[in-house]
Structure 1
């Protein structure tokens, strides 16, 4: 499928200035000519339709990761035509290297660029590609500071040439066209007719693997990424899939955080009404078991004020006619059934070269041989029992983040920004909610406002007023917020102070790279001045960890309230979050792990310690365990969320075991791995190391799929340790549940 390039805005250029942003990173704060706008960023959706004719360059081309990825992608069939190394030139992998994206664009005429640079360099690299008007920009780096991404999006929305996929995304891959721009594990993929859009990389690989094992291939797979805001969302991808002749059915994989899934549900509902023969759509949502106020691995995996929970997203999609599953291993059988019932054409792909076809058939034969040898088959487990619903996450305006300031610290910072905080009113005065946060759908900052502060009513009354990151809130946007606050009829002085407060909050928000800053304000009877109280502030840790900005601010972090086990996990790049016990026997159960001093002796001792690679898969694993076992008389669900991280090593796995074994509630350890960048043999070596160093005295169930899975399983078999290894998820889960309850 050739890449199609078209745009009605030809020859329009950036109008650069010499300014630098408050983040301290390189930027031109480039502004587009107003004449270059047509329908804006939506005009670039068609740029997602990559294929065999797509010409690709790499930024950071000569780096170690880019080199390895390029070799793999070229061998697979991707038409990589060169790359960029700032200030460099010459050749790499027999392809030309240019000193800038603009030079590469002029000489090579690429259709897409893959950005393979570290997080602190990524925003500048995206901007360079944007200035050169590369049609498709794919950014894979995680931990890019949020404010840099918001600035980039303010530029994207003002043009109609370039489309962004990512950041923090596995990328985009046309399986039919053999074009990969990203780091997807190629052995999992097979050419076919299912289009996939996913937030989670690991869950997307699980989805692909399930389809391939069921004899169904993929057409186009888009990883939108798990950041707070992304360059391409579900609706963008659905618009592509609707008109793509190679796509006969669609899968969407979402998770808690933002409203992209609800917006997809609205689009699907409309699509099914206006199209006579709609394409079957299946979906999955992760994050039902996420503790309120916690960020679940992905930067965007938290429920903002007024946003839907995982439960509400699931229901929205289900009500729109989407066939929902609770684990991606079920997608294969579900899509087979859906396609059979739809009567759509699922013709066999025959347009492969002999070498490509041989490679794919060899992969399939290896999979079948491995399954036959182990006498295991794919099972379709029961559908999610909605009579036993997942407990909904509570709505809370506060999020536990790496840096969430105390009240005293907030007062000091606000006062230094000329925002004076009063004590909370003792009498029941009318209070209003105001702040600056992120508008995920608008891909921008916004004013957040509500005429009340009641915790029960606030989520339903809050409204967001997005504005351009580069210019700040306009007069009209501020007036709309004041109207929402119901302060229109307030004294002129009070309204003027509210306007000034909004400007001050925005200045602080931008200068310190906050994610959310909110306050409550009151207007006492007979007074013409507002009173500001109850501040809440939390900040982007990526600005500090990736770019070393605001070190003085982040030095304020109080670790005394963070459990020691979580701090230990952080040192190894592991995200570890203890989960509440499903049924608590006493008030001192492990559900109170926000307090590290809580005794665990009276907690249940039949829970499952989970060790998973990838935030999305880790969320889904805890969800499934709860759904499978919560109705039992002696329920055994997950004790924790544990994401080993994208740079896991054997030592990381061993450390993860030590963390799990320190929880006295854990009766069995469940290692659930789908190897993408994470190699299954490396996971197996880490498990052996854990048995050697940690003195593992609990039953261990290991489920390995993906990259190097056979090698990993062989390592475990040869070790002759008390480990039960599976490749089928449902079989592994059943065994985990049996062991958690004493082997019954």
Structure 2
């Protein structure tokens, strides 16, 4: 084996002299002072001591077995009320004992969503340096409470929730559920909102021979414990990382924050590490939640197209499909004066190639595929329902009234929403309702979740709305309204409560009911059995019947451009990020998708069959594109589902083009090729997309 470069630690005292399978020490140049300083805890490696919370659970047990085989240094775990051994490792009844006896550097929280918030809080109290939470459907307000606690300390760092986790192929340390056969030790750092897009990116980088140094899945929830900027800080300091990949999507401003950081980074560093990125949701319909809980654009936020341009403007190389990351990163490394051939040779010496493992596909991924419900929606009430829901909170405000009249452009806007960057609730106000000015004039004023908005925050929000000079009654009513909405925000576990208002000739506040936007977190009733009164207000009869039916089967379906016959390509994809990217990439190839469909981690043969049924209800569909990357979804299982659909579903003579890559891709491709059903199978996305668009044009 050739000699490889030696890892450099944060300080000379902890310099490591082993090869690239070394640990990543938790030491730092300076004493920790705040949560922001805990980014160093993300630098996991061979000697990171990992424990599990919920250790004896079925999913945790399967995950731990796979991670142990991979080489992760798991030292034990915790299950409340149990003590002894599990998997030949210490099993302890609480985190306090685990901290004292096992001295963990990290904990993998494999606890169900209703209890996960409390489990994370326990880990913070025990001062575990790195906490990785993988559970889906953790209520937003549980995470807001966790975030408020994280801000008060400087010991613990959270990855997630609803995240695939973090993995360091250098050091063979996995904390999460990433599909291991896709990864290889190397020198490209990856930070991603989307799991499936990150797996595609990883596979492309592995095929290119570059491998990965560290991959951080921030998760697709509204509030993430670790964001893109946090990841960039780690990649900058990590001597193992030569190039960086960012995977973003619509919703929030994580990508804009990253662009601002990159702009500064390129000014202060002589030879910055090259950065490439992708953004999902360029062609997502306005106001829709695209699979991930956080994949939607709230009022005043920039869209995915805007964010793409901002990243380009600071010198980030954008790609339109993750399959391209490997070749692009090779080129960027060369242009930056780094030698890709040496990096490739170094990675090859680690002797872990893509799909060279002789292991069977991860049992855990099969369990997750059977068990995980992927549908992620929020509950948005109709404007006419707003007055009744608001009444208990607004009735004490003397002089305030509600009208059914539309809001004038000269009106004002206020809301209580979430600031994803601050990881806190926020008041949001604008001095106009004119849509041509609104985006630039809406401003958020974050406040602590546990205490509510202070008088200074209220004053700043009101001043920004240019209401300082409003009549005294209207000024007092605005203050009372913001306080009432902030209380309702917490009481009812809302995501956004907003409306436009004006001032009457008598000097009182007038809310315009048609502008009411009342959006609540449906994870609270789904996971924790809270807020059931709000669920009762949902009106499924007013929604698209196919979308409602899909939801019952754990499928996310959104019809796109329903009045356009040009939208004639049906899509069936696993993973929200990849599904968004498929819609975007088809548009770049001259086609238009008729739907967004995410089978999610619950993609079984039966789910694929159901997906075909739903897609074919749209008479516009002339061809179906099955685009699967087998990270958590087995390629063979998807292929079986396609065949099942052909046997049991009236396909109406609609052709099907299938692209299967990733876990068990060879099995899936062989099943499709040998089916005798005339299915067209492809390896590469470009070729598959071009063929799909060609068929759509021929049949239009």
1:320 positional shift: 0.4
Query: What residue number does 2:321 align with?
Result: 327
Matched, 1:532 2:508: no
Cα distance change, pair 429–212 in 1 and its aligned pair in 2 (3 A): closer
CA distance in 1, matches of 2:552, 2:355: 41
What CA distance in whole angstroms lies between the structure 1 residues aligned with 2:163 and 2:602?
A: 15
Say whether residues 1:363 and 2:356 are aligned partners. Answer: yes
Correspondence for 1:739: 695
* Alignment partner, residue 158 of structure 2: 164
The equivalent of 1:3 in structure 2 is 24
Gaps of 5+ in 2: 1-21, 360-375
Separation in structure 2 between the aligned mates of residue 447 and residue 625 of structure 1, nearest angstrom: 38
After TM superposition, give the deviation of residue 677 of structure 1 in Å. 1.2
Per-residue deviation, 1:554 = 0.8
**Aligned 8 A contact 1:648 1:678 in 2:** yes
Whether the aligned pair in 1 keeps the contact of 2:501 and 2:510 (CA below 8 Å) is yes
Instruction: Name the residue aligned to 1:98.
Output: 92
Range 290-299 or range 343-352, more displaced? 343-352
Q: Does residue 187 of structure 1 match 2:181?
A: yes
| Contact 2:134-2:176 within 8 A present in 1 as well | yes
State the secondary structure of the residue aligned to 1:152.
Answer: helix
**Do 2:138 and 2:161's aligned partners in 1 also have CA atoms closer than 8 Å?**
yes
Partner SS, residue 436 of structure 2: coil
Matched, 1:718 2:688: no
Are the equivalent residues in 1 in contact too, given 2:574–2:633 (CA < 8 A)?
Answer: yes
Change in CA separation of 1:427 and 1:171 when aligned onto 2, cut-off 3 Å:
closer
Larger deviation, residues 436-445 vs 85-94 = 85-94
Other-structure match for 1:617: 578
Note if 1:404 corresponds to 2:380: yes
Pairing of 1:462-473 with structure 2 (within 5 A): 462-473=442-453
5+ unaligned residues in a row in structure 1: which ranges?
A: 11-37, 367-399, 581-588, 592-602, 630-635
Query: Alpha carbons of 1:726 and 1:683: their partners in 2 closer, same or farther (altered >3 Å)?
Result: same
* Equivalent residues of 2:408, 2:433 under 8 A apart: no
Matched, 1:608 2:569: yes
Please state if 1:579 is matched with 2:560.
yes
Name the residue aligned to 1:590: 563
**Equivalents in 2 of 1:693, 1:427: separation in Å?**
52
Q: How far is the alpha carbon of 1:365 from its aligned partner?
A: 12
- Distance in 2 separating the partners of 1:361 and 1:722: 30
Shift of 1:78: 0.5
Corresponding residue SS for 2:596: strand
Partner of residue 627, structure 1: 588
- 8 A contact 1:9–1:160 mirrored in 2: no
Deviation at 1:227, TM superposition (A): 0.8
Q: Provide the residue aligned with 2:633 in structure 1.
A: 678
- The 10-residue stretch of structure 1 (135-144 or 413-422) with the greater mean CA deviation from structure 2: 413-422
Written as runs of structure 1 = structure 2, the 5 A alignment for 1:691-730 is 691-696=646-651, 697-730=653-686
Alpha-carbon shift at residue 418 of structure 1 (Å): 3.0
- 1:421: how far off? 4.0
How many residue pairs align between the two structures?
Answer: 655
- Between 1:716-725 and 1:293-302, the stretch displaced more is 716-725
Match of 2:42 in 1: 48
SS state at 2:381 partner: coil
Q: CA deviation at 1:706?
A: 0.9
1:348 to partner: Cα distance = 4.8
Distance, in Å, in 2 between the alignment partners of 1:437 and 1:562 is: 24
Are 1:294 and 1:401, in contact at CA under 8 Å, matched by a contact in 2? no
The alpha-carbon distance between structure 1 residues 311 and 161, as it changes in their structure 2 partners (threshold 3 A), is same
How many angstroms does 1:251 deviate by?
0.6
Of residues 371, 396, 417, the one that matches 2:393 is: 417
Counterpart of 1:489 in structure 2 is 469
User: Which digits, 9 at most, give the CA deviation of each residue in 1:488-510, with x for residues without a partner?
Assistant: 12343332222211111111111
Tell me the residue number matched to 1:178.
172
Which whole-Å deviations, capped at 9, do the CAs of 1:69-128 have from their partners, x for residues lacking one?
111111111001111111111111101111112221111000001111221121111111
Aligned-residue offset at 1:155: 0.6
Query: Separation in 2 of the partners of 1:514 and 1:92?
Result: 40
- Tell me the residue number matched to 2:411: 431
Taking the TM superposition and a 5 Å limit, the aligned residue runs for 1:520-559 are: 520-525=500-505, 527-534=506-513, 535-559=516-540
> Are the equivalent residues in 1 in contact too, given 2:445–2:457 (CA < 8 A)?
yes
Q: Give the Cα separation in 2 of the matches to 1:608 and 1:66.
A: 39
Name the counterpart of 2:549.
568
Q: Provide closer, same or farther for how the CA distance between residues 276 and 323 of structure 1 changes in structure 2, counting only shifts above 3 A.
A: same
Alpha-carbon offset, residue 569 of structure 1 = 0.6
SS of equivalent to 1:741: helix
Q: SS of 1:456's equivalent?
A: helix
Asked if 2 retains the 8 angstrom alpha-carbon contact of 1:191 and 1:349, the reply is no
Q: 1:402 to 1:229 in 2, by over 3 A?
A: closer
- Note closer, same or farther for the CA distance 1:118–1:415 as it changes in structure 2 (3 Å cut): same
The aligned residue for residue 284 of structure 1 is: 278
> Matched residues in 2 for 1:200 and 1:444: separation?
22
Deviations 1:443-488 (A, max 9, x none): 0100011111222222211110000000110111011111112121
How far apart are 1:715 and its partner, in Å? 2.3
Q: How far does residue 608 in structure 1 lie from its aligned partner after superposition?
A: 1.2
Residue in 2 aligned with 1:655? 610
Question: Deviation per CA, 1:367-407, whole angstroms, max 9, x where unpaired?
Answer: xxxxxxxxxxxxxxxxxxxxxxxxxxxxxxxxx96422223
CA displacement 1:630-670 (0-9 Å, x = unmatched): xxxxxx32111000021221110000011111111111111
1:4-83 matches, cutoff 5 A:
4-6=25-27, 39-83=33-77
TM-score normalised by structure 1 residue count: 0.85
- Cα distance in 2, alignment partners of residues 353 and 729 from structure 1: 26
1:231-282 deviation line (CA, Å, top 9, x unaligned): 1111111111111100001010111111110111111111111111111111
1:502 to 462, 482, 486: 482
1:412 and 1:542 map into 2 onto residues whose CA distance is 23
- Listed one character per residue, the Cα deviations across residues 309-367 of structure 1 (whole Å, up to 9, x for unaligned) are 1111111111100111100111111111111121225545889999x72x53872999x
Q: Is the 8 A contact 1:515 1:538 kept in 2?
A: yes
Q: 1:63 to 1:153 in 2, by over 3 A?
A: same
For 1:120-135, list aligned pairs within 5 A: 120-135=114-129
Q: Normalised by the size of structure 2, how large is the TM-score? A: 0.90
Greater CA deviation, 689-698 or 199-208?
689-698
Deviations 1:159-203 (A, max 9, x none): 111001111111100011110011111111111110010100000
**SS in structure 2 of the partner of residue 457 of structure 1:** helix
